[in-house]
């Protein structure tokens, strides 16, 4: 386990009393019986200024949140997968403009849903091919089975394409996906989706390695992330947090996924969109690599100009997700926020009425985890818990930014 040393906040430009508000905020979710346990870390200029844990990793077993607790990171897997794809782009293995069918021929003649029902859909041929850039920006026309917004979401569910409970291997999952209609024409709209899972399969085809092995060799080992993997080994079950679901009405957390019986002990496939289990120390190291221009412990993971490209808004015309995206969370949540190559990107903090810095990149996970990196202020922050769904207390993502940024005094 990587040890985390905490530096006095004043040494990196934080007011200590103001920064303590972050810890109090995270603890309050536990004290108010809204979350079972929390872990929050804030770093600046390469040094950790705050680390605060509260509550239980496993309430039923009486296991408190610890320095080395293992968490389901779900969609916070996506930025790691996106870095892997861009490594291959740097090496000449693929281009952002390449059609997906160059690597996965089953995606060559896609159909787009235009009407009808899930049982009898009406479709038309896609007007353009899905590209690697479409996948990185979630504009490919794919979706998720757990969304409840569109008939294609229902088609996914009816087909058995449940990303949380699918078996058969990555290739089988993605080949099944290729036979389903798209939610919209490629490149015409942002829809949160299995796009990053498809990219995991692209990594396999381009690299000639299994997706898990590629991540291990090219990101996890070089960055120093020993606790990050697809699955939890038997000897680590005691460190693995339980996952809870918010109770309708009271919002109190009820046990959803116990460590001993969790599918994460032996997952059926390596999900690049949401399959990684990791620790606070590991994900902190990943964030620091992003802020260090792609360097980690003196080794280069990815080029700085590649990261700059990833951290720009790639939505057409520089529009935000509110204008170009299907609704996710509540109205206005993504005002002033665009999407880069694997991250949400703050483009206009004033438009969004958020206490954030333009250029800040972020994302979260299904179990209410969240992170962001701010290259301007040299800040990274990670918030961990295990509460499904992520929209239960979604405002905490912006509230945390306010509390961190109000503590900056230098």
- Provide φ and ψ at 261, rounded to 5°: -115, 10
Of 288, 280, 257, which Cα lies nearest the Cα of 73? Answer: 280
Q: Render 156-191 in DSSP notation, one character per residue.
A: HHHTT--TTS--S-HHHHHHHHHTSPBSS-TTS-B-
Q: Domain range spanning residue 341?
A: 9-68+228-255+281-405
CB 54, CB 65: distance < 8 Å: yes
38 within domain boundaries: yes
Q: Is 254 exposed, middle or buried (0-12, 13-18, 19+ CB in 10 A)?
A: exposed
- CA–CA dist 17, 130 (Å, integer): 50
Element (H or E) spanning 380, and its range? strand 379-384
Of 149, 230, 140, which Cα lies nearest the Cα of 193? Answer: 140
H-helix segments, 72-145:
78-90, 132-136
pLDDT at position 82 is 98
189 within domain boundaries: no
pLDDT at position 326 is 85
CATH of residue 386's domain is 3.40.710.10
- CA–CA dist 368, 389 (Å, integer): 7
CB 82, CB 343: distance < 8 Å: yes
DSSP state of 226: T
pLDDT at position 191 is 96
165 within domain boundaries: no
Of 225, 284, 282, which Cα lies nearest the Cα of 46? Answer: 284
CB 315, CB 365: distance < 8 Å: no
Count CB neighbours of 332 within 10 A: 11
142 within domain boundaries: no
For 15, 337, 382, 406, the CA distances from 398, given in Å and listed in that order, are 20, 12, 13, 12
- Which residues, 6+ apart, have CB-to-CB distance to 364 below 8 Å? 75, 76, 370, 371, 390, 397
Beta-strand relationship, 121-125 and 243-246: unpaired
pLDDT at position 268 is 86
Of 386, 384, 397, which Cα lies nearest the Cα of 279? Answer: 384
Of 269, 264, 272, which Cα lies nearest the Cα of 342? Answer: 272
The gap from C-alpha 52 to its chain's centroid, in whole angstroms, comes to 22
266 within domain boundaries: no
- CA–CA dist 325, 235 (Å, integer): 42
pLDDT at position 148 is 87
pLDDT at position 184 is 97
DSSP state of 410: -
The length of the chain, given as a count of residues: 410
Of 51, 56, 66, which Cα lies nearest the Cα of 33? Answer: 56
287 within domain boundaries: yes
pLDDT at position 126 is 98
- CA–CA dist 370, 9 (Å, integer): 22
- Provide φ and ψ at 114, rounded to 5°: -130, -5
Q: Is 130 exposed, middle or buried (0-12, 13-18, 19+ CB in 10 A)?
A: buried
Number of folded domains that form the chain: 1
What token pair was written down for 222?
């070089």
2 within domain boundaries: no
- CA–CA dist 132, 89 (Å, integer): 10
- Provide φ and ψ at 187, rounded to 5°: 80, 5
- CA–CA dist 384, 299 (Å, integer): 27
Query: Across the 410 residues of the chain, what is the mean pLDDT of every consecutive 10-residue run?
Result: 88 98 98 98 98 98 98 98 98 98 98 97 98 98 93 95 78 96 97 97 98 98 98 96 95 97 92 97 98 97 98 96 83 90 96 94 97 98 97 93 98
Count CB neighbours of 273 within 10 A: 21
232 within domain boundaries: yes
- Provide φ and ψ at 342, rounded to 5°: 110, -5
What token pair was written down for 216?
């291990």
């Amino acid at each position: 386990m990587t040890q985390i040393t905490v530096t006095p906040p004043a040494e990196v430009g934080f007011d200590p009393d103001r920064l303590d508000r972050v810890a109090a905020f995270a603890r309050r979710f536990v004290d108010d019986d809204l979350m079972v346990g929390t872990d929050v870390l804030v770093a600046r200029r390469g040094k950790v200024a705050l680390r605060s844990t509260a509550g239980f990793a496993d309430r039923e077993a009486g296991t408190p949140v610890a320095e080395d607790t293992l968490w389901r990171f779900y969609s916070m897997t996506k930025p790691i997968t996106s870095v892997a794809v861009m490594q291959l782009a740097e090496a000449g293995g693929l281009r952002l403009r390449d059609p997906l069918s160059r690597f996965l021929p089953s995606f060559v003649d896609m159909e787009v849903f235009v009407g009808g029902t899930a049982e009898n859909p009406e479709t038309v041929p896609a007007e353009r091919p899905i590209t690697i850039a479409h996948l990185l920006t979630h504009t490919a026309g794919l979706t998720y089975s757990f969304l409840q917004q569109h008939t294609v979401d229902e088609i996914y569910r009816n087909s058995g394409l449940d990303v949380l409970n699918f078996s058969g291997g990555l290739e089988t999952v993605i080949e099944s996906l290729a036979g389903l209609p798209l939610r919209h024409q490629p490149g015409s709209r942002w829809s949160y989706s299995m796009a990053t899972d498809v990219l995991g399969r692209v990594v396999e085809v381009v690299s000639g390695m299994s997706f898990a092995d590629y991540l291990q060799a090219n990101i996890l080992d070089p960055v120093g992330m020993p606790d990050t993997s697809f699955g939890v080994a038997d000897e680590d079950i005691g460190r693995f947090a339980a996952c809870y679901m918010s109770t309708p009405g009271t919002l109190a957390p009820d046990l959803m996924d116990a460590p001993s019986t969790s599918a994460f002990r032996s997952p059926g496939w390596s999900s690049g969109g949401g399959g990684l289990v990791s620790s606070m120390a590991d994900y902190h190291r990943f964030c620091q690599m992003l802020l260090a221009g792609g360097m980690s412990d003196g080794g280069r993971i990815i080029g700085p100009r590649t990261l700059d490209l990833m951290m720009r808004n790639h939505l057409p015309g520089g529009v935000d997700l509110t204008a170009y995206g299907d609704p996710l969370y509540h109205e206005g949540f993504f005002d002033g926020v665009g999407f880069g190559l694997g991250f949400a990107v703050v483009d206009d903090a004033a438009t969004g009425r958020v206490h954030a810095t333009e250029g800040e990149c972020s994302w979260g996970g299904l179990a209410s985890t969240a992170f962001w990196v701010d290259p301007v202020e040299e800040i990274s922050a990670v918030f961990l818990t295990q509460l499904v769904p992520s929209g239960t207390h979604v405002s905490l993502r912006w509230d945390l930014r306010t509390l961190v940024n109000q503590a900056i005094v230098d």
